[in-house]
Chains A and B, each alone.
Chain A
């Protein structure tokens, strides 16, 4: 599996894709941080968690939604197009190792992306003695888990097509659908809304962003990731059986 992780990291960084995605993410979230900080200073009140970080984390969530499908779109689609996946199948690697190797490489890029934004609390740190470290940690955990869920969804879709563009487009659609799932609250009945709330990826984030960690939310996100990764392994296996390139 480390072989696949290393190879993917080389691909990410030698094709510039990772640099571009990380740079765009940091530029966007830096802009948001500037706006959110200005807003907080004018009218945010005293609570840093609710007045500043909550909004900043929500904005970073949107940035992730925009940029993470770009990280996963090529993972399998490109290998399928090049025919290199077949070659990989002749090495003593399990499908699970191939999927996890690619997934962990994408997770490492996500960690780098999020790691870059730690500079914001560090910037404020010396000035603000009441920095809510625990709450911030919870917020980042939520953000990371959500990103990990996006990546698991993206990797599955990439395994289903030869086209990177199609992989990215379908991933966006699915993720936006997960986001918009609970918007139409008035139009659905109470039982349906309950179900929608349960499977909504995005609504779970509010607890994290306000500094709380609910084990149910953590479990749901981990389960979401596990299901999509297992599905990816399954998709690869079925391609193999059908003998399609």
Chain B
């Protein structure tokens, strides 16, 4: 449904996206992950038809975004980061404009607008001016305009950024409910969010594609050697000595009141646990270290072979 092939986009001398290729099958939900400035937004804007690729091709619904831009845009709904809006229009009036701009036949328009309002729970806000809405509601209006007309392809650029936790869950559930019915690409810089919603994750960094995998495959590859944190009701020095002897634990180092374990993989957890409890101590904390996005890139890029898995 979406095919990005050797996409390169430059702004003057600045290379925003360099030789990125991936495809999204019909009905698939793909998470687009990367730190700020990685080229996520640029890639999504090219897919949405805002500007053409410098090199390479992008097809949406089988239509080349450069050669058949209007046909490509007809099957697409786009949610831009920081949902821009016309402050002086009402929610309903704005969505009416979008329905006309998307060339929804006049007989269908009221029904389609109602669907979008209902999908984004905007019923109570329909007569309010968009400029007077809170950030969360504005974000929903942005989502409503993307969903309007039921496009087959949805491109959502950081749909949850800047929202409070309740609103984030709401938007996530909405995206989840569309899985299977729509082809979705959504971007985020939060790994856990992408893992929850997407069936496949595409990771970009500095304009290049770093990895492409299922969330499970990705976490397997990343979690394998993730350090564990251990705390028990004993001196950390003692604890480090005890668990350092466990097979599969490469290193046990004391960090304040906890012990950081560098391990081969997850399978050492039962043994570590036994080593603690057999000495009569009680485990107060046993957790896996969380990786920042930067760590993930270092790992994916650093692991060299097979880091790019197509």
At the interface with chain B, which of A9-17, A157-165, A210-218? A9-17
Determine if B97 and A7 form an interchain contact, defined as CB atoms under 8 angstroms apart.
Answer: yes
Determine if A243 and B51 form an interchain contact, defined as CB atoms under 8 angstroms apart.
Answer: yes
CA distance A243 to B52 in the complex (A): 8
Determine if A10 and B93 form an interchain contact, defined as CB atoms under 8 angstroms apart.
Answer: yes
CA distance A10 to B94 in the complex (A): 10
Interface string of A1-39 (1 = CB under 8 A from B): 011101100110011000000000000000000000000
Interface residues of A (CB under 8 A from B): 2-4, 6-7, 10-11, 14-15, 82-84, 86-94, 240-244
Determine if B45 and A92 form an interchain contact, defined as CB atoms under 8 angstroms apart.
Answer: no
Determine if B84 and A242 form an interchain contact, defined as CB atoms under 8 angstroms apart.
Answer: no
**Which residue of B80, B93, B101 is within 8 Å of A93 (Cβ)?**
B101
CA distance A241 to B51 in the complex (A): 6
Given contacts A86-B80, A91-B101, A94-B70, 5 further A-B contacts (CB under 8 A): A11-B88, A83-B80, A91-B102, A243-B9, A244-B11
**Which residue of A14, A240, A243, A244 is within 8 Å of B89 (Cβ)?**
A14
Determine if B45 and A84 form an interchain contact, defined as CB atoms under 8 angstroms apart.
Answer: no
Candidate in A88, A91, A92 with the most chain B CB atoms within 10 angstroms: A91
- Binding site secondary structure of chain A: helix
Determine if A240 and B52 form an interchain contact, defined as CB atoms under 8 angstroms apart.
Answer: yes
Does chain A have a CB within 8 A of B281? no
Contacts of A87 in B (CB 8 A): 78, 80, 84, 145
CA distance A243 to B49 in the complex (A): 11
Interface size on B, residues (CB 8 A): 32
Does chain A have a CB within 8 A of B76? yes
Interface residues of B (CB under 8 A from A): 9, 11-12, 42, 45, 48-52, 70-71, 73-74, 76, 78, 80, 82, 84-89, 93, 97-98, 100-103, 145
Candidate in A93, A240, A243 with the most chain B CB atoms within 10 angstroms: A243
Determine if A243 and B84 form an interchain contact, defined as CB atoms under 8 angstroms apart.
Answer: no
Contacts of B86 in A (CB 8 A): 7, 11, 82, 84
Determine if A89 and B80 form an interchain contact, defined as CB atoms under 8 angstroms apart.
Answer: no
> Which of chain A's residues has its CB closest to B81's CB?
A83
Determine if A89 and B85 form an interchain contact, defined as CB atoms under 8 angstroms apart.
Answer: no
> Which of chain B's residues has its CB closest to A17's CB?
B88
